[in-house]
């Protein structure tokens, strides 16, 4: 069965430090991959999505993710963490023509002043 694995349920970084949130997918066909963010007591909103146009995808709020087929990974990065980045982040996958999305279990990001 298709699955998405997010390594680390909780990641803590200092303000200004690099953010790296890891995601591995299992699709055997070219995937469409997504990162969503959820702020406290809110729904999920799209950060960025990969649809095979380019392997490095830029999203909102300075985040980007790189698709690496050889590693079946789609890790999310941000060069410099801000306090407002504290939230839960979800990686999601769907093969072509399939719905709904398969979500990872999420990674909670804490940013320390």
Partner 1 sequence: DVKVTQSSRYLVKRTGEKVFLECVQDMDHENMFWYRQDPGLGLRLIYFSYDVKMKEKGDIPEGYSVSREKKERFSLILESASTNQTSMYLCASSGPLGFAGDEQYFGPGTRLTVT
In the complex, which residues of this chain contact partner 1 (CB under 8 A)? 9, 32, 34, 36, 41-46, 49, 51, 90, 96-97, 99-101, 103-106
First to last CA, the chain: 41
Select 40 or 70, whichever has its Cβ closest to partner 1.
Answer: 40
Nearer CB in complex with partner 1: 14/45: 45
Residue 17 or 22: which CB sits closer to partner 1? 22
DSSP of 51-70: -SS-SEEE-GGG-EEEEEGG
Q: CB of 14 within 8 A of CB of 112?
A: yes
**Strand, helix or coil at 75?**
strand
Q: Report, in Å, the least distance between residue 97 CB and partner 1.
A: 5
Output Rg (C-alpha) for the chain, integer angstroms. Answer: 13
In order, the DSSP letters of 14-55 are ETTSPEEEEEEE--SS-EEEEEEEE-TTS-EEEEEEE-SS-S
**Closest approach of partner 1 to the CB of residue 25, in Å:** 14
CB of 76 to partner 1, least distance (A): 15
In terms of CB distance, is 17 or 64 closer to partner 1?
64
In the complex, what is the shortest distance from the CB of residue 6 to partner 1, in angstroms, rounded to a whole number? 8
């Amino acid at each position: 069965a298709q699955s998405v694995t997010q390594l680390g349920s909780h990641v803590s970084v200092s303000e200004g430090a690099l953010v790296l949130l890891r995601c591995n997918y299992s699709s055997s066909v070219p995937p469409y991959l997504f990162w969503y963010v959820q702020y406290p007591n809110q729904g999920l909103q799209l950060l960025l999505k990969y649809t095979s146009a380019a392997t490095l995808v830029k999203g909102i709020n300075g985040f980007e993710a790189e698709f690496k087929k050889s590693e079946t990974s789609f890790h999310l990065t941000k060069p410099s963490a801000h306090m407002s980045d504290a939230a839960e982040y979800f990686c999601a996958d769907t093969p072509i023509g399939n719905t709904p999305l398969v979500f990872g279990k999420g990674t909670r990001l804490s940013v320390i002043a």
